[in-house]
Amino acid sequence: METAEIRRRWLRYFSTRGHTVVPSAPLLYDDPTLLFVNAGMVPFKPYMLGQETPPYERATSVQKCIRTLDIDEVGKTSRHGTFFQMNGNFSFGDYFKEKAIELAWELITRDQSDGGYGLDESRLWVTVLQGDEESRQLWKRIAGLPDERIVQRGLADNYWHMGVPGPGGPCSEIYFDRGPQYGPDGGPEADEDRYLEIWNLVFMQEMLSEVRTKIDFDVEAPLPSKNIDTGMGLERMASLLQGVDNLYEIDEVFPVIARVEEITGKRYGANPQDDVRMRVIADHVRSGLMLIGDGVTPSNEARGYVLRRLLRRVTRSVRLLGVQDPSMVDLLTVSKDRMGASYPELETNFARISQIALAEEQAFTRTLSSGTTILDTAVASAKSAGETTLSGDRAFQLHDTYGFPIDLTLEMAGEHGLTVDHDGFRRLMAEQRNRAKADAKSKKVGHADTSVYRALREPGITEFTGYRELSTDSTVRG
Ligand code: ATP
Ligand code: MG
Ligand code: MG
Ligand code: MG
């Protein structure tokens, strides 16, 4: 079943059951706690909190999401994209646990010839929060699941919150057993690659006043109403229904890999390391396309830097596959041709999108060629001195003189088996910043201190901290 059809069925199923279809919000959303929209509920948060009156009691959407925290998983696990689409159904004080479970179970198990997804019931598992006896009983009664396929897990896995003060509640997740060829028996606790998490049902019921860690938070009060927030990974469902191994091989993503095969002359499936690179390219090209499409431009500021990092990884991965020629626009075109059906604005914006991505590719190609020689020399001299760490000085020099971003130095040094003195690097960066500040103080222009702007203009001066500091990202859900 094509991804577009899975999406259509979702929206049809929920709209015929009283849900208003709400279009995806843009990836850049006005929520100061987030870098990007990372879950379907984000645009509905004010309704959950009772800050705004919802214009409907039930809604459904297919929301574009970016999860920067998953970047290191991409290409290595079978199930993480930096961009993905989250199908959701929501109830604002209308139905709660029982109906949410009924709706979910019916849709995934109903025959494909009858509008459902037709998953084999005997391969489905669910999890509930330890102590949530009500949900456990509901799954037994509604789905007829045996006790051993209703797993009870703790707060870390089955309590949802945003990582910051806001709404939260217990959740219940649905997993599909892909079979013994993917890992050991034993349910989701044993292996999350074999047991693929497809759908999370969140019973959003309380307001958290403080969140210290995933499992350490204060519940302030019940929310004004009990709400349902669910999220099903569209690409994950597509990988199951298309019978492919991972979400990079589905119809919306794989054509980019196929194009990479053509331009590199390498075959996907021939070499595990090259396969990871091809999957990274396919994922990041799509994320880049969607981000630029939604108005993000590469920069050294947190959001722009996420985009910059994704595009640079594409360029570097293509180089590592042996191709020196520009390829960004070519790959973006393939991705746009697949995504354009669901997001027609990509077609109209494509000239602008490709121009922005091309400029980034060109700039980075220059950086790469000057910096790589220096890095190789530094690695060789560290190795011949019997060292296993590249000094902070070296990393700083690469950054300062050659515009080599620290994450690239870390990645490339790692490929040579070296670590980097990241603390030393940070210290030198801080010293440089302080010097710049002192300098700026003596040169204040009128009432405006322009040091901030100058710092941002200087290439690479802002060290990227966005993943840690701004994004309350994918770890927040179970
Ligand atoms: P995982 O444990 O696999 O990282 P998650 O628990 O972080 O997933 P949720 O926050 O519960 O995911 O999001 C709801 C659904 O969105 C998941 O059940 C999954 O189907 C999908 N999803 C989450 N993260 C990704 C991702 N990076 N790429 C593709 N789909 C995702
Ligand atoms: Mg996750
Ligand atoms: Mg989850
Ligand atoms: Mg999970």
What is the structure's pLDDT at 253? 98
Around ion ligand 4, residues with a beta carbon closer than 5 Å are 197
Q: Are residues 147 and 227 in the same domain?
A: yes
- Give the pLDDT confidence of 378-392 residue by residue, as tens digits: 899 999 999 999 999
Domain shared by 208 and 264, yes or no: no
Q: Say whether both 235 and 263 belong to one domain.
A: no
**Single residue among 378, 403, 419 that ends a domain in this structure:** 378
* Residue carrying the six token digits 């001195």: 385
Cβ–Cβ under 8 Å, residues 200 and 152: no
Asked, for residue 117, whether it belongs to a domain, the answer is yes
Do the beta carbons of residue 172 and residue 129 sit within 8 Å? yes
Query: Which residues, 6 or more positions from 377, have their beta carbon under 8 angstroms from its beta carbon?
Result: none
Confidence of residue 399 (pLDDT cuts 50, 70, 90): confident
Nearest atom in ligand 1 to 73's CA: 27
**Tokens in use for 251?**
């119809």
Q: What is the pLDDT of residue 443?
A: 54
Decide: 474 in ligand 1 pocket, CB within 6 A: yes
Looking at the structure, do residues 342 and 218 belong to the same domain, yes or no? Answer: no
pLDDT value, residue 112: 98
**To which residue do tokens 């939604």 refer?**
294
Question: How many beta carbons lie within 10 A of that of residue 292, not counting itself?
Answer: 24
Mean pLDDT of the residues in the chain? 90
What is the pLDDT confidence band of residue 442, given thresholds at 50, 70 and 90?
Answer: low
Task: Give ∠ CA 323-325-330 in degrees, rounded to 5.
Answer: 100
If one residue of 200, 202, 239, 475 were mutated to test the ligand 1 pocket, choosing by the most ligand atoms within 8 A of its CB, it would be 200
Query: Is residue 153 within 6 Å of ligand 1 at its C-beta?
Result: no
Residue of 84, 159, 197 to test ligand 1 pocket, by largest number of atoms within 8 Å of CB: 197
| Whether residues 215 and 350 fall in one domain | no
Residue 9 lies in a domain: yes
Q: Is the pLDDT of residue 464 over 60?
A: no
Three-state secondary structure call for residue 440: helix
Please indicate whether residue 64, judged by its CB atom, sits closer than 6 Å to ligand 1.
no
Domain stop point among 197, 226, 245: 245
Q: Which two tokens stand for residue 390?
A: 């590249």
Q: Which ligand is nearest to the CA of 70?
A: 1
Condensed to tens digits (0 to 9), the pLDDT of residues 274-312 reads 999 999 999 999 999 999 999 999 998 889 999 999 999
Q: In the predicted model, is pLDDT for residue 98 greater than 70? A: yes
What domain range includes position 55? Answer: 3-245
Q: Is residue 87 located within the same domain as residue 127?
A: yes
| Helix residue ranges, H only, 85-173 | 97-109, 133-143, 155-158
Residue 233 beta carbon below 6 angstroms from any ligand 1 atom: yes
Asked if the structure places residue 17 within a domain, the reply is yes
Per cent of the chain over pLDDT 70 is: 92
Q: Which atom of ligand 1 is nearest to the CA of 474?
A: 7
Same domain? 278 vs 172: no
Cα(176)–Cα(173) distance, rounded to whole angstroms?
Answer: 10
Verify that 202 and 310 share a domain, yes or no: no
- Predicted pLDDT of residue 282: 98
Q: Beta strands 124-129 and 20-21: pairing type? A: unpaired
| SS3 at position 208 | strand
Residues 123 and 218 in one domain: yes
Tell me how many domains the chain contains: 2
Is 409 part of any domain? no
Q: What is the mean pLDDT of residues 348-371?
A: 94
Looking at ligand 1, which residue's alpha carbon is closest to its atom 16?
Answer: 233
CA distance 321 to 75: 15
The answer to whether position 401 is within a domain reads: no
Is residue 422 included in any domain, yes or no? no
In a domain, residue 94? The reply is yes
CA dist 335 → 50, 284, 373, 430 (Å): 39, 10, 33, 40
pLDDT attached to residue 321: 96
Which of 378, 363, 358 minimizes the C-alpha distance to 459?
Answer: 363
Residues 365 and 220 in one domain: no
| Choice between 259 and 71, residue whose per-residue pLDDT is larger | 259
Residues 299 and 221 in one domain: no
Q: Is 288 in the pocket of ligand 1 (CB under 6 A)?
A: no
Amino acid found at 136: R
* CATH code for position 84: 3.30.930.10
Whether 333 and 267 share a structural domain:
yes
Token reading at 157: 């896995």
CB 228 within 8 Å of CB 172: no
Instruction: Name the burial class of residue 130, with classes exposed (0-12), middle (13-18) and buried (19+) by CB atoms within 10 angstroms of its CB.
Output: middle
* Cβ atoms of 167 and 161 closer than 8 Å: yes
Cα(263)–Cα(330) distance, integer angstroms: 10
Q: Determine, yes or no, domain membership for 407.
A: no
Rounded to the nearest angstrom, the distance between the alpha carbon of 477 and the centre of ligand 2 is 7
What dihedral angle (degrees, nearest 10) is formed by the CA atoms of 175, 181, 185, 189?
Answer: -50
pLDDT tens figures, 172-213: 999 999 999 999 999 999 999 999 999 999 999 999 999 999
What is the C-alpha separation between 67 and 36, in angstroms, rounded? 8
Examine the pLDDT at 449 and tell me if it is beyond 70.
no
Displacement of CA 148 from its chain's centroid (Å):
31
23 beta partners: none
- Domain boundary residue, one of 378, 413, 437: 378
